[in-house]
Amino acid sequence: MLQSAVRRDRFRWTILALITISHIIGASAQYGINTLAPFYKDELQLSRAQVGLFFSAFYLAMTGASFATGWLADRFGVRRTTFNGHLCVGICTIAAALSPNFEWGCISFFLAGCGYSFLNPASTIGVMTWFERSERATAMGIKQTGVPAGGVLAAVLAPSLVLIIGWRGSLAALGAINFLFGFIFSLLWREPLISSSEEDAEFEIGAATTNSLKVSQLLPISCATAIYLVGQMALITYAPLYLKDVMGFSPYWASQALALTQAGAMVGRVGWGIASDRLFHGRRKIVLICIGIMSAILIAALGLLQRESSYLLLLPLLFLAGVSIVGYQGVSYALIGEIAGKTRTGAGLGMMISINAAAATLGTPIFGYIVDQTGSYAVAWQALALAVSVGIVGLAVLLKEPRPIEA
């Protein structure tokens, strides 16, 4: 048993790397939607709100499918659900690259969102299975760096490919990478060799002693992070257009600058996870509140910038906004798994993603609509900061987390 434990202890980091790469590949197609927006907006004759609706179509699919795909991940395991997810994302992203109009694009991105909805529950189950609670938020944060890393990949690679093969070829390339990686993941995935530790067994008994999903305990974190996700999606979707329209960036450099926000998210997802596991001894709630406060301040600050503002102020704001509003999800996913229990992690995460995606589906185009109607990004940024503040209050008042690890 000791030798098995040693083998597992070493291999879990290899598994974590595989899961993280899965997120990088999946997210590169997702973020191709907003990264390439400055290139396809005029060709397809889209308004800002319609650009937001492309992202909303993606998240609308996640709203409807995530609970079911979470249940399927619990039922059929990580390998099969991840394989099917990547194949669906790949095929549908290639279809989106062929879009002649807004309607075709919406349908294609909707179907891609259905495929993507398999990836988060499956990967979260993988982390819950391979890692004990004392390092789970750190592992979850590392896993979730794959999402902004995919954004960095899209922000760096996609505009460069546009110069060679156009935005359609660039988007199709992101889809093809997803399709091929589904087969690679299926070949490399392994299940753990030993069962959970006694510590996790005790946690499972304390956190969830029945087979039912504890909806009342999951709702506060699901609703609060739904508002956080609106902030995240609005920032990622509209930052390139904001930099182009307000700050005077070219379409190419506006897309490239988004990589800075995604790099901040990578730092945040690991850093917040380490802080939760080590500094706060397994407490998640206080970390999520700190993230929300930082996010609200930074988003409000974006609304105060002018065209004449120094890049030395703008670029750090974009980076820190990535650290906060795009960097929270590792901690929230760890908390969801701990509330739901390992055997219901997929269903619990699916429920949270459904609520989150529903909010993002509505909130992202509303941000664009505010800009279209007022002609001001400043008004939209301030409204978004206010919404994030509401989420902070909800977390502080309503969320009850499981007993943390003793220091």
The tokens describing 267, both together, are: 């730092």
In this predicted model, what pLDDT tens digit does every residue of 346-392 receive, in sequence order?
777 778 877 887 787 788 888 988 998 898 899 999 999 999 999 99
Over 60: is that where the pLDDT of 204 sits?
A: no
Taking the alpha carbons at both ends of the chain, their separation in whole angstroms is 27
The answer to whether 299 and 259 are in contact (CB under 8 A) is no
pLDDT grade, residue 202 (50/70/90)? very low
| Cα dist from 241 to 36, 49, 235, 257, 402, whole Å | 10, 12, 10, 11, 41
Distance CA(66)–CA(117), nearest Å, equals 5
The answer to whether 80 and 351 are in contact (CB under 8 A) is no
In 3D space, the residue among 333, 293, 372 whose CA is nearest the CA of residue 131 turns out to be 333
Residues 6+ apart with CB under 8 A from 221: 288, 332, 335, 336, 339, 352, 395, 399
Helix and strand numbers (H, E) in the chain are: 16, 0
| Stretch among 41-55, 143-157, 378-392 having the lowest mean pLDDT | 41-55
In 3D space, the residue among 182, 32, 166, 163 whose CA is nearest the CA of residue 109 turns out to be 32
In this predicted model, what pLDDT tens digit does every residue of 117-129 receive, in sequence order?
888 888 888 888 8
| Stretch among 53-62, 105-114, 176-185, 219-228 having the lowest mean pLDDT | 53-62
Q: Mean pLDDT across the stretch 304-318? A: 82
Distance CA(21)–CA(250), nearest Å, equals 30
Q: Mean pLDDT across the stretch 398-402? A: 78
pLDDT at 404: 55
pLDDT at 205: 39
Q: Domains of the chain (ranges plus CATH)?
A: 2-398 (1.20.1250.20)
